[in-house]
Structure 1
Amino acid sequence: MIRETPQEFLDTLKSYVPDPRKTVGVARQEFSEFFTEFQSDERPATEQVAIRDDLRGVWCSVPGVIQDRTLLFFHGGFFSVGSTADHLGFCAELAKAAQSRVFSVDYRLAPEHPFPAPLEDALAAYRYLTSHSVPPHRIIPIGISAGGTLVLDLLLSLRDEHLLMPPAAICMSPMVDLAFGSASVTANENKDWLTPARLATIRAQYLAGTDPDDVRASPIHASLSRLPRLYLQAGSGELIFDDISAFAKKATWAGVPIRYEIWEGMFHAWQIFGKQIPEARDAVARAGTFARETFGR
C-alpha cells in the first residue's frame, strides 16, 4: 500500500495543488516538478511534431511497442497546468503496458486558453493522426483527470461530426460534470487531495463563464448513444466519485459497452503516482491489458 500513512501522503499531495495566488508560470513549474517526482524514472524515446503552429504532439516509444498501435494521450493538470514533459514517466508506463506508441498532446491551457480551446486541440490531434497514416481503428484515446474529460469530449464531437470513431477509449478519473455538485464532493473531502475550493477554481478558470451544463464541457449532460467501448477507472475516495459513477450508469443505459472499475480507497488520479502506490501500477497494467485486447480484435 502507500508507504507513508494515507493521510500523510494526501497532505503531501495537497501541498502541491497549484495556488491560484501564484503566477501561472510559477504554478506550472511547481506542478511539473511535483508530478515528475512521483512517476517512473524511465523515459521514453520522444519525437516532437507540429500539429499546428501553436499545438504540438510528442511521439513516445519504448522497446517492444507495436508500431501500428497508438494511444492518443491527454495529460492531467486541471486544464491549467501539466504537459507532456511532466508526464513522460507515465507515458513510458502506458506504452509498456499497452505495447503501443503514445502520442501525447500539449493542448492549450487556461486561463490564457479557456474552454473550448483544449477540446479544439483534441480534435486537431485526432485529425492529425488520421491524416498522417494512422487509421481510426488503430487509435485508442486515453486521458487522466482533465485529460479523461477531453477524451469523452473528443468522442462526442467525433460522433456529432459524423467522423470515423476509434474502437475504444480509456478514462482515468475523468471530470465528467464541471458543476462539481455531487454528494461525494463533501463526503470524500478528507479522502482526496483535491478540495472543493480547487474544484471551484477549475470551473472558474477553465469555463470562464461558460455554463457547466454545456454538453461539450460536462459530458455527463450529453446524449451518450453510439459511443465506442469505454474503460473507466475511479477511486472510491475521489471528490468526483459520484459524478463518474453517474456517468457510467448513464452510459450503460445508453447502450455503450463499458467497463467501469472502482478502486477502493484510491483518490483522484492515483494512477500517476507509480513510484509511491502499487495500486497505480496495477491500474496502468489493467488499462494496458484493455488496450491490447482492443487492438487484438
Structure 2
Amino acid sequence: MSNHPAIDGLTDRMAASWQARAVLMAMPLFVGRCARARCVAPDVARLRVRSHWLSLPGAGLAALCNPRSRRVRDGGLDGLWTLPSSRPGPIANAILYLHGGGYYFGSSATHRAVTTALAAHSGAPVFAPDYRLAPEHPFPAALNDALHAYRTLIARGIAANSIVVAGDSAGGGLALALLVALRDAGDALPAGAVMFSPWADLTTTWRAARGAGPTTRIAMQRAAQMYIGDASAWDPYVSPARGDLHDLPPIHLQISDAEAMYEDALALAARLNRVGVTVQVAQWHAMPHALPCFAPFLPEANQALRQAAMFVRRCYATRKREAATAAAMA
C-alpha cells in the first residue's frame, strides 16, 4: 500500500540491485554532461543523429530476443509493430506505446527493447508510432499523431476495448492527453492505460531529483519550451494532469521516489482517484526514471514490466466480460 492518501497501489522498498545502483550513480554524470553540452538546445541535426545512434543498442538487442517485428507506414505515420513470439493469427488486441524523450527525442527504435519485453510479458502485439517531435513540430503535432495512430488501429478492425495505451515519461503524459482528447471528441475509449514516470504537468517548476534520474530542471524546462511552442502550459492537452480527468479508463502508474517527477505523479494519481478513475500506483524505491526502459538490464525493470503486463491482461479480461454481459442483455 502507498503512504499517499487515497492511493491504492504497490510499493517495492527492497534493496536495489547492483545494476540499479550503478545506473543511479552514473546518471547524474550523464545528465550534467548533457546539460552543459546544451543537448536539448534546438540543434535539430545533432539531436536526430544522436537519436539514431542511441537507438542501435536497444534495437539490436530486441532483434536478437524477438525478431518478430516489422516497420510500417500507415496513413502517413511510421511505426513499429512488435509481436509476441507465441502470437498466431490476426491481431485481435494491441498496446499502443508512446515513447518518451521529452517530446523532442526518441523513436520506436530507441524504445524497441521495452516494447519487445512488454509484448512478451503481456502476450499482446505492441504498436509504437513515430510521432512528430519538437522543435520542428511543437504541440499539438504529437497529440494529433497519437490520435491518428489510435484511430488507425480501430479502422484496421481492433476494437477500442481491446486496446491499452501506454507510454513512458513524455510518452506517459502524451498517453494521458490522448485519453482526455478521445473522451472530449466522443471516441470510444481504450480498455486502460499504463504510464511509466509520466510527465503530465508542464506547468510546474520541478524540484531537483533526489539522488538520480535522467531529468534536471534546466533540461525539462528547455524541453517543455520546445514542445509548448506558442501554446500555453496550462492547456489541458499540454498538461493533462491539470485538466478534467473524469470518465477515463483504468490507469496503472509506475514511479520511483528517486526521480524529479515523483511528487507530480502522486498528485496526478490523487486527482484521478478523487474523480472516480480506477488507478493503481506501483512505487519504486531508489530506481531510475522510466524504470521499465532499462529492461532487460535491470532486474527491477523486468519486474516492473511484469506488473504492467498483468494490468494489461486484466484490462482485456474485464472488457471482454463486460462486452459478453452487454451482448447477453441485448
Assess if the C-alpha contact under 8 Å between 2:210 and 2:257 holds in 1: no
- Residues 203 and 63 of structure 1: CA distance in aligned 2, closer, same or farther (over 3 Å): same
Question: Does residue 244 in structure 1 map to residue 248 in structure 2?
Answer: no
Identity across the alignment (%): 29
Q: Which has the higher contact order (CA 8 A, sep 6+)?
A: 2
SS in 2 for 1:260: strand
Question: Does residue 181 in structure 1 map to residue 205 in structure 2?
Answer: yes
Question: Does residue 92 in structure 1 map to residue 138 in structure 2?
Answer: no
More helix by share: 2
Assess if the C-alpha contact under 8 Å between 1:180 and 1:240 holds in 2: no
Quote the Cα distance in structure 2 between the aligned partners of 1:7 and 1:70: 33
SS in 1 for 2:111: helix
Instruction: Give the counterpart letter for 2:27 in structure 1.
Output: L
Question: Does residue 50 in structure 1 map to residue 73 in structure 2?
Answer: yes
Corresponding residue to 2:238 among 202, 217, 227: 217
1:257 shift after superposition: 0.6
- Residues 167 and 195 of structure 1: CA distance in aligned 2, closer, same or farther (over 3 Å): same
- Residues 21 and 47 of structure 1: CA distance in aligned 2, closer, same or farther (over 3 Å): same
- Report the aligned-residue RMSD: 2.1
Alignment gaps of 5+ in structure 1: none
The TM-score normalised by the length of structure 2 is: 0.83
Question: Does residue 9 in structure 1 map to residue 31 in structure 2?
Answer: no
Partner in structure 2 of residue 261 of structure 1:
282
- Residues 281 and 35 of structure 1: CA distance in aligned 2, closer, same or farther (over 3 Å): farther
SS in 1 for 2:271: helix
Corresponding residue to 1:20 among 23, 40, 51: 40
- Residues 41 and 48 of structure 1: CA distance in aligned 2, closer, same or farther (over 3 Å): closer
1:274 shift after superposition: 1.6
- Residues 241 and 39 of structure 1: CA distance in aligned 2, closer, same or farther (over 3 Å): farther
1:34 shift after superposition: 3.5
Instruction: Give the counterpart letter for 1:196 in structure 2.
Output: R
Quote the Cα distance in structure 2 between the aligned partners of 1:234 and 1:227: 20
Q: Deviations over 1:182-234 (max 9, x none)?
A: 5xx23x25422211110111111100132211111001111111000000001
Q: Deviations over 1:230-265 (max 9, x none)?
A: 000011111111111100000000000110111111
Corresponding residue to 2:178 among 146, 150, 154: 154
Please list, as runs of the form range in 1=range in 2, the aligned pairs for 1:106-145 lying within 5 A after superposition. 106-145=130-169
Partner in structure 2 of residue 33 of structure 1:
53
Partner in structure 1 of residue 13 of structure 2:
none
Quote the Cα distance in structure 2 between the aligned partners of 1:196 and 1:46: 36
Corresponding residue to 1:63 among 80, 85, 88: 85
Assess if the C-alpha contact under 8 Å between 1:40 and 1:275 holds in 2: no
- Residues 175 and 33 of structure 1: CA distance in aligned 2, closer, same or farther (over 3 Å): same
Instruction: Give the counterpart letter for 1:174 in structure 2.
Output: P
Assess if the C-alpha contact under 8 Å between 2:55 and 2:109 holds in 1: no
Alignment gaps of 5+ in structure 2: 1-16, 319-330
Q: Deviations over 1:152-185 (max 9, x none)?
A: 0111011111111111111111101112325xx2
Instruction: Give the counterpart letter for 2:72 in structure 1.
Output: V
Quote the Cα distance in structure 1 between the aligned partners of 2:156 and 2:296: 35
Instruction: Give the counterpart letter for 2:261 in structure 1.
Output: I
Partner in structure 1 of residue 106 of structure 2:
82
